[in-house]
Amino acid sequence: MIRETSAASKIFDLTLIIVLVAISLLCILPIWYTLMVSLSQKSAAAAGIVSVWPKGFNLNSYQQIMKDAMFFNSFWVSVQRVGLGAVISFAVTVLMAYPLSKSTKDFRLRNVLMWVLVFMMLFSGGLIPLYQTVKAYGLIDSVWVLVLSGGLPMFNVILVMNFFRNLPKELEESAFVDGAGPWYTLIKLIIPLSVPVLATVTLFSIVGHWNEFFSGLVFMTKPDNYPLQTYIQQMVVQMDLTSISNDPEALKRLNELSNQTLNAAKIFIAMIPILVIYPFLQRFFVHGITLGSVKE
C-alpha cells in the first residue's frame, strides 16, 4: 500500500480516528443499554431508571433463560433455518446471476427473464394468498416454509449479476477457448473472483433469516416451531394502556408481561450468534484480494 507522510495527511488520519470513535460510541449505546437492563433488577427496569450502569446487578434473567427449554428449542429452529436458507440462497443466487450476466447475444431470452425478476421484486400478491398457497403445498409448520416463503432473493441476484458482469471478459473467454464449459467456468473461475460480493450476499441472507419473525407467526401453528426471533418478538410488546381487561387472571399477569429485564437478556443472547459471524466474514473483504492478479 502507498505510504503518505505529509503533515496534512497525518492530521487527516487523526481527525478520522476521532470521528469514527465518536460514531462507534453512538452505535454501541443501544446494545449497551439492553445489556444493562438485562443485568438490572426487575423493578428498576420497570421504572425506567436504568441508564449507563445496571441498577441492582444480578444474573437472574440469564439463569432463567438457561432453564427455558422453549428458548433453546427456538434457537435450534433458527439455526436450521439459517443453515438451509444460506446454502439455498447462495446456490440459487449464483446460478441465476451467472446466466443473467450474459448479453442477449449469448443468451437470447436474458432480458425477458431479467425483467420478470425486477417486476416480481416489486409486486406481490399479499399475505393471504401466500398463506393459502403455502397451505396448499402442505408446508405449514415445516422449517421449509421459513426458508422459502420469503421468496427468491432477487436483490441479491441483481447485486451479484452486476458484479459478474463487471469482471473482465477476457478471463472467461480464454477459459472458453481452452474448452471449459459454463459450469466449470462459473465454479472454477467466476466464483473465486467474486468472493467479496458473495460474502456480502451470504451475510445478507444469514442476517435476514436470523432476524425475520413474521413468517414464523403466520405459518406456524404452535410455538414449538417458532424460530428464535418469533419467540422473542411475542414477548417484547408494548402494553396497550387504553384497553386493559379487568379479568382477574389477565390482571395478575400484567406485571409479568412487562418483564423487561428478561426480555432484554433474551434479545441480547439472540444477537450474539449473528455478531460472531460478521467478524468471521470480514476477512473476505480484504482489499484487492481478487483482482490483484488480473492483468489488464
Partner 1 sequence: MNNKGFAKHYYFMLLPGYVWLIMFSIVPMFGVLIAFQDYQPVRGVFRSEWIGLENFEYMFALNDSKMIFFNTIFIALMKMAAHLIVPVIFALMLNELRAAIFKRWVQTIVYLPHFLSWVILSGIIMDVFSFTGPVNNMLSIFHMDPILFMGKPELFPYLVVGSDVWKEFGFNTIIYLAALTGINPSLYEAAALDGANRWHRLRHITVPGIAPTALLLLILSLGNVLNAGFDQIFNLYNPLVYSTGDIIDTWVYREGLLKLQYGLATSVGLLKSVVGFILITLSYYLANRFTNYRIF
Partner 2 sequence: MFKKIIMVLLAASMAAVSACSNGSNEKTAEKPQASAKPAAPADPFGKYEEPVTITTAYSVDPAFKSTKGETLENNAWKTAMKEELNIEIDIAWQVSKENFDQKMNLSIASNDLPDAMVVSQVQLNQMVKAGELEDLTEAYNNYASPSVKRIMESTNGLAIEQVTFDGKMMAIPHVGAEDFNMLWIRQDWLDKLGLQPPKTVEDLENVAKAFVERDPDGNGKADTIGIATGTGLYNDFTAGPGAFDLTPIFGAFNAFPGFWVEGEDGKPAYGSILPETKNALAKLRDMYAAGLIDKEIGIRKAAEETVISGKAGMFFEGFYGGYWPLPSAWQNDPKANWQAYAAPLDKEGKYNVKITNPSNGYLVVRKGFEHPEALIKLNNLYLRDEAIHGPDFMLIRNFFAPLDEIGFEYKAMQEVLAGTKKPEDYADLPEYKLLKNSLETIKNAKLEPYDKLDIQYWNQSDKDFMRAYSIMVGARNHFDPNLNKIKSLSYTRTESVEKRWTNLTKLEKETFLKIIMGSAPLDTFDQFVKDWKKQGGDVVTEEITKTIQ
- The answer to whether the beta carbons of residues 221 and 249 sit under 8 Å apart is no
| Residue from 22, 244, 286, 294 in contact with partner 2 (CB under 8 A) | 244
Is position 169 an interface residue for partner 2 (rule: CB under 8 A)?
no
The residue whose grid cell reads 472454477 is 188
Closest C-alpha among 150, 246, 261 to residue 204:
150
> Site residues for partner 1, window 56-115 (CB under 8 A)?
91-93, 95-96, 98-100, 102, 106-108, 113-115
Q: Is 148 helix (H, G, I), strand (E, B) or coil?
A: helix
Instruction: Enumerate long-range contacts of 142-146, CB under 8 Å, 24 or more apart.
Output: 143/77, 143/80, 143/81, 143/84, 143/225, 144/84, 145/215, 145/219, 146/77, 146/81, 146/85, 146/209, 146/212, 146/215, 146/216, 146/219, 146/227
Q: In sequence order, what are the residues at sequence separation of 6 or more whose Cβ sits closer than 8 angstroms to the Cβ of residue 264?
A: 34, 35, 37, 38, 45, 61
- The answer to whether the beta carbons of residues 265 and 234 sit under 8 Å apart is no
Is position 30 an interface residue for partner 2 (rule: CB under 8 A)?
no
| Residue from 2, 5, 8, 238 in contact with partner 2 (CB under 8 A) | 238
> Site residues for partner 2, window 104-133 (CB under 8 A)?
121, 124-129, 131-133
| Residue from 56, 129, 192, 223 in contact with partner 1 (CB under 8 A) | 129
Using CA atoms, how far apart are residues 82 and 209, in angstroms rounded to an integer? Answer: 6
CB of 113 to partner 2, least distance (A): 20
Is position 289 an interface residue for partner 1 (rule: CB under 8 A)?
yes
CB of 256 to partner 1, least distance (A): 18
Q: Cα dist. 113→97, 108, 109, 158, 198 in Å?
A: 11, 10, 6, 12, 22
- Which range touches partner 1 (CB under 8 A), out of 63-71, 217-225, 250-258, 271-279? 271-279
- Which range touches partner 1 (CB under 8 A), out of 27-35, 61-69, 76-84, 217-225? 27-35
Residue closer to partner 2, measured from CB, 94 or 232:
232
Is position 126 an interface residue for partner 1 (rule: CB under 8 A)?
yes
- The answer to whether the beta carbons of residues 75 and 135 sit under 8 Å apart is no
| Residue from 51, 166, 234, 282 in contact with partner 2 (CB under 8 A) | 234
- Which range touches partner 1 (CB under 8 A), out of 59-67, 72-80, 182-190, 246-254? 182-190
Q: Which residues bind partner 2 (CB under 8 A)?
A: 41-44, 46-49, 121, 124-129, 131-133, 135-136, 150, 155, 204, 208, 212, 214, 217-218, 221-223, 231, 234-235, 237-239, 241-249, 251-259
